Chains A and B, each alone.
Chain A
């Protein structure tokens, strides 16, 4: 009787260890997670009808230690049509069937949730430009994915672009591009070096 009592725990122990080591139900760890909402790349295209200038900002490792690669622009005084493209380059651009991967084009998601998003344009460090919204959401408020940029005077500085999630689009100044009262959360907050000649 006594012997059996001491055998019992050993039996249980062996059951636990053999039982569990076989149960490898998660081979899933062989797939990396590619974050679906990460914005790795921002491309701002400015066009005056004749020439096109592209400002780009790219940080492929997201919150990792690699620094972002930023390309600014030098352009003459004038009026430009602008548009913003947001990309997630951690996922494939094309699906297996050759169609475009919607997760790659974050812009599509922003435009789908147009009521919840707004871009803001802040010229800083001596840059003298004015941005005006040229698009609107389903309630008639601006989004800013399409915009106009007027550069009347020469100078250089930075063009800071902020994308807010769930801003208060009706707060004072917000429809005119002043983000002071917008609240919300920052999806993008980046600055491009820009020179106006």
Chain B
């Protein structure tokens, strides 16, 4: 009886099966990069071992698919990475095109756009910078390259120190990932630029929200992911060398990279960069002491197999950056004179020498990473060690003349374990992070340590789930928890300790008392929760909507907690607060994106509400032996940022393209009801480009960059009594510079030098009309104009 029943059941099941297995899937196999069709691709349905090929026009058809069943469709093509798509069949004849990504077949790297299986976040439209664009910035910095994306501006200190700002926020509110490693390089400092050689990177991805929880939960602004170039699994040896020079700064450099790979999966890449520039020039004068000297190298080697792989990476980055001589204000009266003067107070002959003040920063990063496929799951392990050494030299007297005023050594060890794979109808990504960090502020500088010695332990745990509901809708959600513990040894002046009321609040923290200072040992703990929820919805083949909400939490950084003295670089006294708690941000971003044959468009409005946002603002004037200084205190408030980024491109013909970008961001301190300081002004970039593939791939582009004046800013002006003139003078540090318009011209041509090598010659002129302008987001704007016209020459050899 039982046997009959089960047979009947089986029969019914089969019947049901055959009844619903009339669906078919057909479409084209397309090259992801240029949209060209790919004939001869093998398509395998893993569930039933059905096999077919795409025809001469790239068409394929798979029939007899069962409704509601999820299939794994594997697509192989000789010049592409093999991929497996998961697809759930529904009734009838379904059309679907598959896009494949090329191997590094041509040596010119490829632009990866929206490859669905590699997204860092499903509900935020990612922006990317391709290798080609990065190469245009080979003589500049990673911050300059990032600025080419809408929504990204930069906080500069002169031309050498360029910190990215994403939708109004910067420094510790941005996570910067370099080859899978979260950079730990004193990034909280306003004048500390990211320590990454732009030439060591193959691709940059920008996520303008905290949704990529894998990397951390404190990216109130967003996440920047820089990756090395990909290496194909085949026998090859290739490389490139670029020589670049620029008229402004009268310098240049060389960057070179060579890759060897084998079919068995073993590969290695070596890369190095050398750059040297002298003083750069504004339109009318030399900006003295703005030279730059950079030496970088990186090594990568590994083994990549289908089921497992291991990779080692090491990079060395060293930069020596001169800081405009006339920006150094020793006393209040000096600062007034410097600000009031139309031109820098110190203008010297051009030189390559870098004098004081200057920064000398070395960042070393080593990382080992391995992955193993365990059936449906992939396990990834990573250990990295970073050593950051930062020297800042000031203008000092006597025996201390050549001693750094700041000498910080930051060691960071991180272990990451990630596991990802399917979980029911979902894909999950989950992982844990352990980090130990130790900061050592060398007392031999003879300058009191504003940033104290500390040991920091971090522990993080996250899970992200995403699910393709149907062809149109894909949802994702994630949760992350971070715990940090800081064990700090900090000296406070007795007077500061008492004035802040710490002697009453934290008497137990005092470890030792000295004649005029106390040594205290605060032990701080932060528990931070972050989360994300969002979806993307395909309205049709051309239009997609992304909506994401991210909750992020950021523990205060060492400067916000511990600053307590004169910051020479900006001639003000800065005071932090031991009692700060974590900032909590809630950012919602919506992106509507249209991708068409000739017209592409995306619009991304966002709103970011941050509770306990840490700001610094002037509170009083303090008399010192060098005159009066402003005292700026950090405080927590509620802030709101809102804005919109718009991108559009239009192909007039197959040779002529128009590109447009517009970014608007507004930031307010809700408690004080005033604008936030250093919000990027509205800016728009518009470009017309011509590309003729038949004529040596000739490219010519003219870009216009218009930056409006920032008309919303807090008034932080203050009055200083000048004994000599016996007057009170207002020091205007708030007013913003006028709007400006720059034109940049770029041209390049490719020449085949032999069968396997080619030469690309690029010529550019930045600031074509030598416009003199000042940039609100340049910390040196009080003292000097920005950079004048710059002729750039770029020679790239591929071999």
Known contacts A33-B447, A112-B398: A59-B625 contact under CB 8 Å: yes
Q: Which residue of A lies closest to B724 (CB)?
A: A122
B111 proximal to A (CB < 8 A): no
Which of B415, B494, B517 is in CB contact (< 8 Å) with A16?
A: B415
Residues of A within 8 A of B517 (CB): 32
Q: With a CB–CB cut-off of 8 A, which chain A residues contact B566?
A: 62-63
Taking A9-B415, A29-B489 as contacts, is the C-beta distance between A35 and B726 under 8 angstroms?
Answer: no
Is there an interface contact between B381 and A8, defined as CB atoms closer than 8 Å? yes
Cβ of A8: which chain B residues have Cβ within 8 Å of it?
Answer: 381
Partner of B434, one of A13, A185, A191: A13
Q: How far is the CB of B326 from chain A (nearest CB, A)?
A: 10
Min CB distance, B332 to chain A, in Å? 8
What residues of B have a CB within 8 angstroms of the CB of A33 in the complex?
443, 445-449, 491
Known contacts A13-B434, A57-B625, A62-B624; A160/B723 CB under 8 A: yes
Residues of chain A lying within 8 A (CB to CB) of residue B516: 60-61, 90
CA distance A162 to B626 in the complex (A): 9
B418 nearest CB neighbor, chain A only: A9
A1-60, CB < 8 A from B = 2, 5, 8-9, 12-13, 16-17, 19-21, 23, 25-26, 28-37, 39-40, 42, 57, 59-60
Asked whether, in the complex, the Cβ of A124 is within 8 Å of the Cβ of B723, the reply is: yes
Assess the A187–B434 pair: CB atoms within 8 A.
no
B723 touches A189 (CB 8 A): yes
CA distance A109 to B512 in the complex (A): 32
Q: In whole Å, how far is A103's beta carbon from the nearest beta carbon of chain B?
A: 9
Q: Which residues in B have their C-beta under 8 angstroms from that of A26? A: 440, 453
- Asked if B25 CB lies within 8 Å of chain A CBs, one says no
Residues of A within 8 A of B411 (CB): 20
With the chains together, A165 CA to B495 CA distance in Å? 28
- B627 close to A186 (CB less than 8 A): yes
Report whether B625 and A183 are in contact in the complex, using a CB–CB cutoff of 8 Å.
no
Tier of interface size on chain B: 35 or more
Contacts of A68 in B (CB 8 A): 623-625
With A63-B565, A189-B627 known as contacts, the answer to whether A16 contacts B331 (CB < 8 A) is no
Contact B495 A65 (CB under 8 A): yes
- The binding surface of chain A is classed by DSSP as mixed
Q: Is B417 an interface residue (CB 8 A)?
A: yes
Q: Which residue, of B329, B411, B436, B442, has the highest number of chain A Cβ atoms within 10 A?
A: B436
The answer to whether A64 and B519 touch across the interface, beta carbons within 8 angstroms, is: no
Query: A66 near B: Cβ within 8 Å?
Result: yes
- When each residue 610-652 of chain B gets 1 if its CB lies under 8 Å from chain A and 0 otherwise, what string results? 0000000000001111110100000000000000000000000
Judged by a CB distance under 8 angstroms, whether B55 is at the interface is no
Q: Please give me the residue from chain A that is nearest to B487 by CB atom.
A: A21
Q: Are A185 and B494 in contact (CB under 8 A)?
A: no
Residue of B nearest to A63 (CB): B566
B330 at the interface (CB under 8 A from A): yes
Contact between chains at A36 and B495 (CB < 8 Å): no
Q: A77 near B: Cβ within 8 Å?
A: no
Min CB gap A186→B, angstroms: 3
Complex: A34 Cα to B417 Cα, angstroms: 45
Q: Are A30 and B512 in contact (CB under 8 A)?
A: yes
Cross-chain contact of A32 among B434, B438, B514 (Cβ < 8 A): B514
Q: Are B624 and A59 in contact (CB under 8 A)?
A: yes
A82 at the interface (CB under 8 A from B): no
CB distance from A70 to the nearest CB of B (A): 10
Query: What chain A residues lie within 8 Å of B332 (beta carbons)?
Result: 186, 189
B333 an interface residue at 8 Å Cβ cutoff? yes
Binary CB contact string for chain B from 422 to 439 against chain A (1 if under 8 A, 0 otherwise): 000000000000101010
Alpha-carbon distance A13/B415, docked complex (angstroms) = 6
Known: A5-B372, A116-B397, A185-B328. A32 touches B383 (CB 8 A): no
Q: Find out whether the CB atom of A63 lies under 8 angstroms from the CB atom of B624.
A: yes
Q: Is A188 an interface residue (CB 8 A)?
A: yes
Residue among B330, B381, B453, B496 with the highest chain A CB neighbour number at 10 A? B330
Mask for A153-188, Cβ within 8 A of B = 1, else 0? Answer: 000001010100100000000000001000101111
Q: How far is the CA of A38 from the CA of B111 in the complex (A)?
A: 56
Instruction: Please tell me which one of the listed residues A35, A61, A162, A183 contacts residue B495 in the complex, with CB atoms under 8 A apart.
Output: A61
Asked whether A135 is an interface residue with its Cβ less than 8 Å from the other chain, the reply is: no
B491 partner, pick from A23, A32, A112, A124, beta carbons under 8 A? A32
Taking CB atoms, residues of chain B closer than 8 Å to A90 are: 516
- CA of A122 to CA of B453, assembled, Å: 44
Residue of A nearest to B572 (CB): A63
Which B residues touch A67, using CB under 8 A?
A: 623
CA distance A19 to B565 in the complex (A): 34
Residue of A nearest to B370 (CB): A8
- In the complex, what residue of chain B is closest to A108 when comparing beta carbons? B398
Q: Is B523 an interface residue (CB 8 A)?
A: no
Chain A CB within 8 A of B738 CB? no
- Tell yes or no: A95 within 8 A of B by CB: no
A29-B519 CB under 8 A given contacts A57-B625, A66-B495: yes
Contact of A185 among B331, B489, B495, B512 (CB under 8 A): B331
Cα distance, A20 to B458, chains bound together (Å): 13
Q: Which residues of B contact A191 (CB under 8 A)?
A: 723
Q: Mark B359-395, 1 if CB is under 8 A from A, else 0.
A: 0000000000000101000010101000000000001
Instruction: Give the distance in Å from the alpha carbon of A60 to the alpha carbon of B516 in the complex.
Output: 8
Is A125 among interface residues, defined by CB-CB distance under 8 A? yes
> Contacts A12-B381, A20-B438, A179-B724 hold; do A37 and B495 have CB atoms under 8 A apart?
no
- Asked if B452 CB lies within 8 Å of chain A CBs, one says yes
B393-426, CB under 8 A of A: which get 1 and which 0? Answer: 0011111100000000001010101000000000
Min CB gap A190→B, angstroms: 6
Asked if B499 is at the interface of the complex by the 8 Å CB criterion, the answer is: yes
Any chain B CB within 8 A of the CB of A197?
A: no
Which of A9, A28, A29 has the most CB atoms of chain B within a 10 A radius of its CB?
A29
Q: Report the minimum CB–CB distance from B166 to chain A (whole Å).
A: 31
Residue of B nearest to A183 (CB): B345
- CB <8 Å contact, B724 and A160: yes
Q: B447 — which chain A residues lie within 8 A by C-beta?
A: 33, 35
Which one of B329, B379, B512, B573 contacts A63 once the chains associate, using CB atoms below 8 Å?
B573
* Bound-state Cα–Cα, A165 to B396, Å: 9
CB pair A189–B625 under 8 Å, yes or no, is yes
Pairs A-B, 8 closest by C-beta atoms: A186-B331, A185-B330, A189-B627, A29-B489, A160-B723, A61-B495, A64-B495, A65-B499
Can you name 4 extra interface pairs (CB under 8 A) apart from A9-B417, A16-B413?
A: A19-B413, A63-B622, A64-B499, A190-B625
CB<8 Å pairs between A and B, sample of 12: A9-B415, A16-B415, A29-B489, A33-B445, A57-B625, A61-B495, A62-B565, A68-B624, A122-B724, A124-B723, A185-B331, A189-B626
